[in-house]
Structure 1
């Protein structure tokens, strides 16, 4: 298997009622993503040798690069106040938790496959901003955000499904958010 592409980052905050997600929305176009699993580890030594060791999931760090962050995400993902294309950033803003989905493209035995990834409980932090003056060539600066994936109440922190088409991958991610066709 070879990873050859990345598509369609989606995010939806948890509903204020505490049950399910708001409607998922695409977060620009995917540029890059790196998922790093953080583990709690322990070792027990006795008689000068290791007699037990354990490693358990603690959280995962999601570093996501996108082409743009639509203005609506400043509220739904980072907790800022938006009025008529103006965003107010307060020290008291609290990013909400929600679900996150993204599609990886793989090539397996010469065939393209679409791997739908869903993280049922995530929380993202404010992105850094970077601007640069034009010089002899145009240089694109794209936003990068970082978040944490945590286990949900059932202990699940990630789900994925290999799909034959991108459309099937999108459908599967939408079902994880609770969206069914015709909704």
Structure 2
């Protein structure tokens, strides 16, 4: 159970020797919603007239983010678009959205937060909606959707931590993407 959502970040990923290298986290937007949907591959084996084996494995997932606004430079960064010297963002048919990591935290009760880093995400071009102002004002906030998957380097798709913001893990959560398991305290 969570009661809030904030601190939405992305970190660019570059490939070196066929493995991911995560860059410095950057603010993505002010978060409104984050919906994660996981896909699994399933297989069952029957033997001697009964279920003998069952396998369920993570394949990929979808993240859908509702945000207060998407700045043009951030959108260009996560969609592989170009911004010129005048500040104009250009979208073309040759744009390829790069892989990024996505991190955020969700408030629980008693000052505890759940911290998440999705290891490898590729966003798609978001739909846009505009509306004229009438007798009442309504906000049109953007949503952006991406596919998350396992990283090649570590085979992981998510880092997930629950704790107080004052803990050592939480206080450094947004300074770098958590990509390696901690083996000693």
- What TM bracket, shorter-length normalisation? 0.7 to 0.9
Q: How does 1:136-147 map to 2 (within 5 A)?
A: 136-147=135-146
Question: Tell me, what secondary structure is at the counterpart of 1:72?
Answer: helix
The normalised TM-score by structure 1 is: 0.85
**Residue 138 (structure 1) shift:** 0.8
Structure 2: segments with no counterpart, 5+ residues: 180-185
Change (3 A) 1:48 1:137: farther
Change (3 A) 1:92 1:70: same
**Number of residue equivalences:** 174
Structure 1: segments with no counterpart, 5+ residues: 179-183
Aligned to 1:61: 62
TM-superposition CA deviations, 1:33-79 (whole Å, max 9, x none): 01111101112234554332211000121011111111212321001
Question: Tell me, what secondary structure is at the counterpart of 1:134?
Answer: coil
- Structure 1 distance, partners of 2:80, 2:60, is 22
Question: Tell me, what secondary structure is at the counterpart of 1:76?
Answer: helix
Change (3 A) 1:139 1:167: farther
RMSD between aligned residues: 2.2
- Structure 1 distance, partners of 2:25, 2:125, is 19
**Residue 10 (structure 1) shift:** 0.4
Question: Tell me, what secondary structure is at the counterpart of 1:90?
Answer: coil
TM-superposition CA deviations, 1:132-172 (whole Å, max 9, x none): 11122111111101111111122110011123128963622
Question: Tell me, what secondary structure is at the counterpart of 2:107?
Answer: strand
- Cα contact 2:40–2:57 (8 A) shared by 1: yes
Aligned to 1:155: 155
Question: Tell me, what secondary structure is at the counterpart of 2:76?
Answer: helix
1:165 and 2:165 are equivalent in the alignment? yes
- Structure 1 distance, partners of 2:140, 2:5, is 18
Tell me whether 20-29 or 161-170 shows the greater mean CA deviation: 161-170
1:94 and 2:96 are equivalent in the alignment? yes
